[in-house]
Amino acid sequence: MSVPAGQSAATPKRLVVLISGRGSNLGALIEACEQDRIPAQVVGVISNRPDAAGLGFAEQHHIPHRVLNHRDYPSREAFDADLATAIEDYAPDLVILAGFMRILTPGFVDRFTGRMLNIHPSLLPKYRGLDTHARALADGEPEHGASVHFVTPELDGGPVIMQARVPVAPDDTPETLAARVQRAEHRLYPEVVRRVCSGEIQWSGRILQADGSPLEAPLQLDEDTHDVSGPDARSRPPHPVG
């Protein structure tokens, strides 16, 4: 990692990423770390599905990875216990949920309070849970988007750090809207992770702070943070949508 003259290199933060599927946000995070846009490195990837295509990103970039198949466990608690142990083996500073399709037990969440992030494809608190794009279209929403939040035991209910908004087109389908939201996610998630790793964003389970002041409302991804809104989006996403 390059360091400006007169400054010393800080130890990169250690990220463990949990996935269940194609892992496009994992790919975006890996790329951001490798390009020094985040003062961190992905040190481990864990999937609950052995066929998760996102494991290919870990293999391609020589990142340690493993599978804990949730179907091999008799209970959610048993799975979460082994998952927590596997995560701690990597000694992470942050745990990143990137399309990890598991409802986590309160004990697991409490263990990582203040250092576990999730990205959700809606403008929270709207549309928690699944099928967010179809639900937004059914309600005639003029805009949609994604939110990054700290994880709490409440499903998609943790304090929201930052959101990315995208317009809804008259001819959108759930698939086209999902693709537009996911391109925004590939910019949003690295930006939030950067701010958390740098200490700009902090939350210990009590007050969410940005630059030392309480964050009264979610930050919004804009042109200064490489927003993808606009007709040409200025550049293509770092990895195929998925």
Q: Of 65, 70, 120, 133, which residue is the catalytic one?
A: 120
What single-letter amino acid sits at 235? Answer: S
Three state DSSP letters for 41-95: EEEEEEECCCCCCCHHHHHHCCCCEEECCHHHCCCHHHHHHHHHHHHHCCCCCEE
Q: Is 120 a catalytic residue?
A: yes
98: left (phi over 0), alpha (psi -120 to 50) or beta: beta
Token pair for 22: 């194609």
Cis bond before residue 125 (omega within 30° of 0): yes
What are the angstrom distances between the C-alpha of 239 and each of 70, 144, 180? Answer: 27, 21, 13
| Strand, coil or helix: 211 | coil
User: Maximum distance among all alpha carbons in the chain?
Assistant: 55
Cα 130 to the center of its chain, rounded Å? 16
Q: Which of 166, 171, 140, 154 is nearest to 241 (CA)?
A: 166
What's the rounded Cα separation, in Å, for the pair 2 and 212? 27
Active site residues: 120
